[in-house]
Amino acid sequence: MKPDGKLDYLEMQAGDGTLGAVKSFYAAAFGWRFTDYGPSYAAFAEGLDGGFDGVAAVAAKPLPVLYAHDLEKTLAAVTAAGGTVVKATFPFPGGRRFHFTDPAGNELAVWSE
């Protein structure tokens, strides 16, 4: 049984017809695979279960942070897949990271030690 109050799922938005582009982006950049639940929802299980909602619109957006052993290689994969870097690589306590947006405008970060 899972305890109450623990992070169990991460849902991000992919509205305005961007669900296909979002799925293609994460597949190309990180090798993610998806399970479609109808035409407007795609779930993933990539270390943390979650999904992209192709219908709902939410004003506040989470900032998921992904880990990478090789930050430069991951940065290259993100840009090659069509991601837009919105904060160049910078140091922070514990490592370095960069922020990018996906085709739907979701902002994420990638960090490395």
In this prediction, residue 111 carries a pLDDT of 92
3-state secondary structure of 27: helix
Cα separation, 94 vs 104, in Å, equals: 29
Homologous superfamily of the 10-112 domain (CATH) = 2,3-Dihydroxybiphenyl 1,2-Dioxygenase, domain 1 (3.10.180.10)
In the chain, domain spans: 10-112
Token pair listed for 11: 């849902």
Residue 5 has pLDDT above 70, yes or no: no
pLDDT in tens, 42-69: 999 998 888 888 876 655 577 898 999 9
Q: What is the DSSP letter of 42?
A: E
Q: Could you report the per-residue pLDDT of 77-98, keeping only the tens digit for each?
A: 999 999 999 999 999 878 999 9
Say what the pTM is: 0.78
